[in-house]
Amino acid sequence: MKQHPATNRWRTIDIVVAAVIAVAFGVIFWAWGLLWRAVDPAFAFFPAGQAVMYGVWLVPAVLGGLIIRKPGAALFCEAVAATISALLGSEWGGITIVQGLIQGLGAELAFAAFRYRSFRLPTALLAGTLTGLGAALFDFFVWNVDYALGSYRIPYALLTVVSAAIIAGVGGWYLTRALAGTGALDRFPAARDRTLV
C-alpha cells in the first residue's frame, strides 16, 4: 500500500515529544558522563571494557525513531540530546554535538532502510547496531587514535557496537513498549503495536 506523503509530516506533538526525549536524555548524557569517570577505576584491569556502558548514550536515537516514526526523528533526538549535554558542561565539550549527529545518522539509516514502515524488534536492533557503529568509528578515529590498536581501540569499538545493539536497540524497543503500555503514546502509532515483536 502506498504511503500518503502527509504521513511523513511532523505534527506539533511529534516535535514536542521529540524535544522532550532529547532534553531528558541530554540531562541523562551529562550525568552518565559523570558516572563514566567515577567508575574508571573499576575498569583499570581492562580499560576498553568500559565501552559496555556506551549504549546509554545512544538510546534517544532509537527511541525517537520508534516513537515518532518520521524521517529525521532518530537524528533529531540524538543530536539535540548531545547538544544539551554539551551545554550542561559535558567534559567532552562541543565536539559531542558532531558526535551526536553521526550517531543519530546511524539509527536514521536503519529506519530509512525500511522506508519508515518497520518498527519491530529486528529494526530496533539494527538501529542500535548502526548508531553504535557510528559511535565506534567516531571514537576509533577521534578520541582513541592515540591508544593501542589491539589491546584498546578494536575491543573498545566492538564493545561499543554490542552495547549499542543491546542497550539502545533492544532496550529502546522495550522502553517504547513500556511507555505505550502506560498510555503515554496513545497519540502515536507505537501505541497500536505494543504487542508486536
What's the mean pLDDT in 120-125? 97
Correct CATH for 5-191 of 1.10.10, 1.10.1760, 3.30.70, 3.90.70: 1.10.1760
In degrees, to the nearest 5, what angle opens at C-alpha 29 toward C-alphas 181 and 183?
Answer: 10
Q: 2 falls in which pLDDT band (50, 70, 90)?
A: very low
- Mean pLDDT of all residues in the chain? 93
Sequence ranges of the domains in the chain:
5-191
CA atoms lying within 13 Å on the CB side of residue 122: 4
Q: 4 falls in which pLDDT band (50, 70, 90)?
A: very low
What gap in Å lies between CA 105 and CA 110, rounded to an integer? 9
CB 61 within 8 A of CB 78: yes
Residue the block writes with cell 559531542: 96
The pTM is what? 0.92
- pLDDT at residue 91, rounded to an integer: 86
CB 129 within 8 A of CB 166: no
Residue 5 predicted with pLDDT over 90? no
167 exposed, middle or buried (CB, 10 Å; 0-12, 13-18, 19+)?
Answer: buried
What gap in Å lies between CA 45 and CA 142, rounded to an integer? 23
CB 159 within 8 A of CB 49: yes
- pLDDT at residue 193, rounded to an integer: 67
In degrees, to the nearest 5, what angle opens at C-alpha 189 toward C-alphas 132 and 4?
Answer: 100
Q: What is the pLDDT of residues 138-196, one digit of tens each?
A: 999 999 999 999 999 999 999 999 999 999 999 999 999 999 999 999 999 988 765 55
Residue 42 predicted with pLDDT over 90? yes
Q: 41 falls in which pLDDT band (50, 70, 90)?
A: very high
What's the mean pLDDT in 41-48? 96
Residue 6 predicted with pLDDT over 80? no
